């Protein structure tokens, strides 16, 4: 049975550091040390862990501050050890974080994620109901020392999670039904798709117009070789999102066509 609890001891904070090293690599330049985890907790931040048989298998960490003028948490890290992935622990950790932060009177959590990682998009947008605010090119720099980043630029979505908002409540209430709908959709009309370079859709030219458009991302970016084609795909995605967000589109969800194993963001024009 998995136990979720706030990290309170030096041993637990050090276990969190070890899990960071397991996830991002020992050479990762932005590992949060045990001392900072401890101090963050003392001044209103949150560090929570998932434990089995007394061993930490996942954690989530956030800092207290103000963002957009509102007292909020910034969720800086979430990780689950490789052997425990695929069981929904990421979502469970976020729900534990939500419960703890709400008890302190905070109603908003912000964080970032890589738009190219489809499974994270599914968790954040479909399963949690978070909202994309903006696209931040190379937010953390290109030399983080983490094998996960492969020396490439660290583009990120900044997302907002309104803990009691209608989108959050709908996502949590519908649960697996909502997920199933979004992971089993027909392929969209290629004329409305910003496709990967060389793919079927609009690429290398003008962006599709209309009230609903799609931006394709890899179904599993970590399985792709970090070569020039992946760099070009990321650049295509960056250009598309920067343009669409400037034009007033909102990122609505991530959908997948299972037969073709292709994933797309759904963007809808506001107003």
pLDDT at 201 over 80: no
* Pairing verdict, β 193-194 and 212-217: parallel
Q: Can you tell me the distance from the alpha carbon of 129 to that of 95, in angstroms, rounded to the nearest whole number?
A: 12
CA distances from 167 to 95, 185, 222, 254, 268 (A): 15, 21, 29, 15, 15
| pLDDT 10s digits, 58-109 | 999 999 999 989 999 999 999 999 999 999 999 999 999 999 999 999 999 9
End-to-end CA distance of the chain: 47
Q: Can you tell me the distance from the alpha carbon of 104 to that of 139, in angstroms, rounded to the nearest whole number?
A: 29
What pLDDT score does 127 carry?
95
H-helix or E-strand spanning residue 27: none
Cα Rg of the chain (Å, integer):
19
| pLDDT 10s digits, 226-265 | 777 888 999 999 999 999 999 999 999 999 999 999 999 9
CA angle 128-131-132, nearest 5°?
130
Q: Can you tell me the distance from the alpha carbon of 255 to that of 57, in angstroms, rounded to the nearest whole number?
A: 29
What pLDDT score does 200 carry?
58
pLDDT at 36 over 90: yes
Which distant-in-sequence residues (6+ apart) come within 8 Å of 271 by Cβ? 248
CA distances from 2 to 56, 57, 83, 96, 182 (A): 10, 9, 14, 12, 28
What pLDDT score does 205 carry?
57
Torsion (CA) 266, 156, 152, 233 in degrees, nearest 10: 10
DSSP string, 60-121: EEEEEEEETTEEEEEEEEEEE-GGGTTSSHHHHHHHHHHHHHHHTT--EEEEEE-TT-HHHH
pLDDT at 202 over 60: no
pLDDT at 204 over 60: no
**Contact yes or no for 121/88 (Cβ under 8 A):** no
CA angle 228-234-240, nearest 5°?
135
What token pair was written down for 50? Answer: 């998932």
| pLDDT 10s digits, 146-200 | 667 666 889 999 999 999 999 999 999 987 788 888 999 999 999 999 988 776 5
Phi, psi at residue 219, to the nearest 5°?
-65, -30
CA distances from 259 to 62, 192, 263 (A): 38, 19, 11
What pLDDT score does 101 carry?
98
| pLDDT 10s digits, 106-147 | 999 999 999 999 999 999 999 999 999 999 999 998 877 666
């Amino acid at each position: 049975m998995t136990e979720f609890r706030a990290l309170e001891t030096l041993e637990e904070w050090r276990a969190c550091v070890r899990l960071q090293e397991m996830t991002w690599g020992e050479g990762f330049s932005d590992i949060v040390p045990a001392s900072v985890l401890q101090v963050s907790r003392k001044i209103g931040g949150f560090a929570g862990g998932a434990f089995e048989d007394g061993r930490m298998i996942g954690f989530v960490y956030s800092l207290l501050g103000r963002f957009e003028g509102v007292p909020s948490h910034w969720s800086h890290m979430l990780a689950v050890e490789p052997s425990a992935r695929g069981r929904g622990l990421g979502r469970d950790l976020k729900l534990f974080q939500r419960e703890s932060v709400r008890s302190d009177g905070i109603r908003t959590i912000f964080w970032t994620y890589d738009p190219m990682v489809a499974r994270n998009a599914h968790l954040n947008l479909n399963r949690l109901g978070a909202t994309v605010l903006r696209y931040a090119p190379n937010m953390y720099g290109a030399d983080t020392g983490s094998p996960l980043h492969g020396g490439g630029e660290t583009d990120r979505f900044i997302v907002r999670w309104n803990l009691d908002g209608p989108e959050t409540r709908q996502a949590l209430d519908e649960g697996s039904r909502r997920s199933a709908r979004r992971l089993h959709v027909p392929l969209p009309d290629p004329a409305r798709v910003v496709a990967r370079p060389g793919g079927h859709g609009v690429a290398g030219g003008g962006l599709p117009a209309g009230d609903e458009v799609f931006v394709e991302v890899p179904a599993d970016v970590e399985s792709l070789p970090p070569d020039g084609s992946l760099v070009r795909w990321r650049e295509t995605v960056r250009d598309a999102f920067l343009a669409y967000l400037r034009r007033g589109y909102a990122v609505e969800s991530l959908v997948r066509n299972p037969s073709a194993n292709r994933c797309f963001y759904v963007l809808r024009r506001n107003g």
